[in-house]
Amino acid sequence: MATYFASDVHLRFDYPERGRRFGHWVSGLGGDETLWIAGDLCDFWYQARQRHVDPRSCPGLRALADFRSRGGTLNIIPGNHDRWLGPFYEDVLGASFLPEPVDIEAYGLRIRIVHGHMLGARPYWKECMEAQAFLRGFSLLPSPIAHVLDWLMNLSNQRSRLASEERHLKVYRRYARERAGWHDLMVFGHVHRTVDESQASPRVVVLGGWHDRASFLKIDESGAKLITEADPAVIPC
């Protein structure tokens, strides 16, 4: 039995490898285990333009619902891409949708879970993209225009990724230092790079994204271990 943490899966039907990768991993979890999703389980594209599709046709979402049906505990905190999907996660997946920050204890560790996008490092225009008005407007765009805008946003993110990651990590470290003595482990998402500063006090773990690999934190009686696995996306559904 263990407690697991993952973040930034960014599920969407037009990138099926993410669903296969994540679904394969979730299918291996036991019914007596707990899974925390530290934000951005689904991508904004799913939230704005794919809500009409049967969610069980996504292997990742189907695996989460099956995990709950086996008795597993599923907790999700909102990220910048899925802050309005709480009722969907609760009704369809049987998850608990909890506002951040979340403080828990697991195997003797005092843990704080934060997605990280609201700690002060994101640009203002990205905050605007989280508004319901933006998502409604984006959902009404003709498909070719929406795809072009999505491509442009991804291009902008790629060009600024390294600087953005470093800016967020600096904020995460400062936030963690302010919690020294109160927590043993700080778990962050949002930055898609895996980071484990095990010598820091408290320890800082950034879970990393699922775009091209599996990345998760496992805590059991042996301690806390950040794990990155080779891409199993080629495994058939």
> Which SS3 state, helix, strand or coil, does residue 158 take?
helix
* pLDDT tens-digit map of 107-160: 999 999 999 999 988 887 788 888 999 999 999 999 999 999 999 988 988 898
- Does position 237 have pLDDT exceeding 60, yes or no? no
Q: Give the CA count within 13 Å in the CB-facing half-sphere of 107.
A: 15
- Does position 106 have pLDDT exceeding 80, yes or no? yes
Domains present along the chain, CATH in parentheses: 3-229 (3.60.21.10)
Which residues pair with residue 34 across a beta bridge? 3, 73
The answer, yes or no, to whether the previous bond of 142 is cis (omega within 30 of 0) is no
Q: Using 50, 70 and 90 to split pLDDT, how confident is the model at 232? A: low
Which parts of 58-100 are beta strand (E)? Answer: 73-76, 96-97
**CB count, 10 Å around CB of 51?**
13
HEC string for 130-147: CCHHHHHHHHHCCHHHHH
- Does position 173 have pLDDT exceeding 60, yes or no? yes
Mean pLDDT to the nearest integer, 13-37: 97
Mean pLDDT to the nearest integer, 195-209: 96
Instruction: Look up residue 114 and give its two tokens.
Output: 């934060």
Question: pTM for the whole thing?
Answer: 0.94
The answer, yes or no, to whether the previous bond of 202 is cis (omega within 30 of 0) is yes
Q: Using 50, 70 and 90 to split pLDDT, how confident is the model at 25? A: very high
Residue with tokens 């490898």, as numbered in its chain: 17
Q: Are 116 and 188 in contact (CB under 8 A)?
A: yes
Q: Are 49 and 15 in contact (CB under 8 A)?
A: no
